[in-house]
């Protein structure tokens, strides 16, 4: 009888530990989600930003050269 109570207490401790860690992990993930939800990564750049792609219409199909470069680099 005494060992049965001991097993139940050990099981209850493991259950409380598991539940506490799960709740802590859940709120940690929610905090990270809130932190990055308001992060505007597509805003216009500030300062002296440069245009990277030069897309002139009179030069011909530059998109084909860029596509081949994309496939060659494997990115």
How far lies 36's CA from each of 22, 32, 42, 43, 60, in Å? Answer: 21, 6, 13, 14, 41
What pLDDT does residue 61 have? 65
In degrees and rounded to multiples of 5, residue 11 shows phi and psi of -65, -40
Q: What is the pLDDT of residues 14-67, one digit of tens each?
A: 999 999 999 999 999 999 998 888 777 777 777 787 766 656 666 666 778 878
Higher pLDDT, 41 or 8: 8
Q: Taking Cα atoms as reference points, which of 45, 63, 43 lies closest to residue 53?
A: 63
The domain locations on the chain are 1-37
What pLDDT does residue 56 have? 62
Q: Does 1 have pLDDT greater than 80?
A: no
**Burial zone of 64 (CB within 10 Å; 0-12 exposed, 13-18 middle, 19+ buried):** exposed
Other beta carbons less than 10 A from residue 62's beta carbon? 13
pTM over 0.85: no
């Amino acid at each position: 009888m005494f060992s049965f109570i001991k097993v139940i207490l050990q099981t209850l401790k493991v259950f409380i530990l598991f539940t506490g860690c799960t709740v802590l992990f859940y709120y940690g993930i929610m905090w990270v989600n809130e932190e990055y939800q308001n992060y505007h990564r597509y805003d216009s750049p500030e300062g002296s930003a440069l245009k990277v792609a030069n897309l002139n219409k009179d030069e011909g199909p530059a998109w084909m050269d860029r596509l081949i470069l994309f496939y060659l680099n494997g990115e």
